[in-house]
């Protein structure tokens, strides 16, 4: 071990500095992942106890080390239960970044499989949104380009039909038995309707109701793009990766959906929830 310097009873080496740097980066990324959610306070509590455990262990306080050590052993299991949504999102991000998630790579290796384009004609979705918005009919449409989202699709009624304006309008009709919940669309087909979507646990602006909370929760749990039509105002919004774009024009909605389906990066176009009210207010002022 190459000793660099010594602080009291601590011997600091180059490996220790690298270790501390990597752990700091990991903790910061976890903090960014949970920032704005209720879980951040629990995470900071666990982190504080763990830092105390490291200090008393290094100081050779045996009694406190044993007590906190037992707590940390149980705390790992508790953390998995409490942070299951955050862990799922973290693994989803890692999976997206992995070379094994690159569909084009596998299709090149398995050259006999013909590549199917995930892009499709989104005009029926836009036209249905216009009709639903004009009649102030609420809607929640989940667009997925990488997965059929079978877990969520099976929570509703399976349809597996080609996307059309009449189909979407009839599903979200207030008197339809399928209008509650969300519709899942994959590869140009309506996979299911009346699907139960996860509701976000984060604090959201008061202007957003349960439909918007479900859209944000679904965008946190999956790599999907969710379209929301407000029942109160008729305004159209999009949610992705825990962020939302509010009060969009239909041309903007069309461009965002097409960019998402063709694989273009659109995450940086979305605003954090804490800024959405300010952005909506600025947009209203500019239109006056």
- DSSP assignment of 244-288 equals EE-S--HHHHHHHHHHHHTT---GGGSBPHHHHHHHHHHHHHHH-
Collect all residues with Cβ–Cβ distance below 8 Å to 259 and sequence separation of at least 6: 266
Last residue of a domain, one of 61, 96, 131: 96
Residue 114 falls within a domain, yes or no?
no
Could you tell me the residue range of the domain that residue 76 belongs to?
A: 5-96
Is 274 in the same domain as 150? yes
Is 145 in the same domain as 250? yes
- Alpha-carbon distance of 260 to 107, in angstroms, equals 20
Q: What is the CATH number of the domain that holds 281?
A: 3.40.1700.10
- Alpha-carbon distance of 174 to 69, in angstroms, equals 56
Is 141 in the same domain as 244? yes
Q: What is the model's pLDDT at position 229? A: 94
Residue 105 falls within a domain, yes or no?
no
- pTM value surpassing 0.95: no
Is 92 in the same domain as 126? no
Is 151 in the same domain as 246? yes
Is 85 in the same domain as 181? no
Q: How many domains does the chain have?
A: 2
Alpha-carbon Rg for the chain in angstroms = 24
Q: What is the model's pLDDT at position 114? A: 42
Residue 18 falls within a domain, yes or no?
yes
- Alpha-carbon distance of 239 to 246, in angstroms, equals 9
Residue 215 falls within a domain, yes or no?
yes
Is 66 in the same domain as 136? no
Residue 111 falls within a domain, yes or no?
no
- Alpha-carbon distance of 228 to 230, in angstroms, equals 6
Residue 113 falls within a domain, yes or no?
no
What is the three-class DSSP state of 5? Answer: strand
∠ Cα 111 112 116 (to 5°)? 85
Is 168 in the same domain as 254? yes
Residue 160 falls within a domain, yes or no?
yes
Is 171 in the same domain as 282? yes
Is 84 in the same domain as 134? no
> Low-confidence residues of the chain, pLDDT below 70?
1-10, 32-40, 75-76, 82-86, 88-119, 272-288
Q: What is the model's pLDDT at position 206? A: 76
Residue 182 falls within a domain, yes or no?
yes
Is 48 in the same domain as 179? no
Q: Residue holding tokens 């600091």?
A: 12
Is 151 in the same domain as 264? yes
- Alpha-carbon distance of 282 to 111, in angstroms, equals 51
């Amino acid at each position: 071990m190459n000793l660099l310097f010594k602080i009291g009873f601590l011997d600091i080496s180059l490996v220790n500095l690298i270790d501390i740097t990597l752990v700091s980066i990991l903790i910061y990324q976890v903090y960014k992942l949970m920032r704005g959610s209720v879980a951040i306070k629990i995470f900071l509590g666990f982190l504080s106890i763990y830092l105390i455990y490291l200090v008393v262990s290094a100081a050779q306080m045996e009694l406190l080390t044993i007590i906190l050590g037992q707590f940390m052993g149980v705390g790992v299991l508790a953390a998995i239960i409490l942070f299951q949504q955050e862990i799922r999102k973290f693994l989803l991000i890692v999976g997206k970044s992995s070379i094994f998630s690159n569909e084009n790579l596998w299709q090149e290796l398995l050259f006999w499989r013909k590549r199917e384009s995930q892009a499709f004609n989104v005009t029926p979705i836009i036209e249905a949104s216009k009709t639903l918005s004009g009649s102030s009919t609420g809607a929640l449409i989940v667009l997925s380009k990488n997965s059929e989202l079978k877990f969520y699709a099976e929570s509703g009624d399976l349809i597996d039909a080609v996307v059309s304006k009449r189909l979407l309008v009839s599903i979200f009709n207030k008197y339809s038995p399928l209008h509650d919940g969300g519709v899942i669309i994959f590869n140009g087909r309506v996979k299911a309707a009346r699907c139960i979507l996860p509701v976000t646990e984060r604090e959201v602006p008061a202007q957003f109701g349960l439909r918007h909370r479900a859209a944000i929760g679904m965008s946190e749990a999956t790599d999907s793009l969710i379209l929301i039509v407000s029942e109160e105002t008729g305004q159209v919004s999009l949610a992705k990766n825990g962020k939302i774009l509010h009060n969009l024009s239909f041309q903007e909605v069309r461009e965002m959906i097409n960019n998402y389906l063709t694989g273009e990066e659109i995450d940086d176009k979305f605003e954090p929830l804490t800024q959405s009210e300010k952005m909506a207010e600025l947009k209203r002022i500019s239109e006056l």
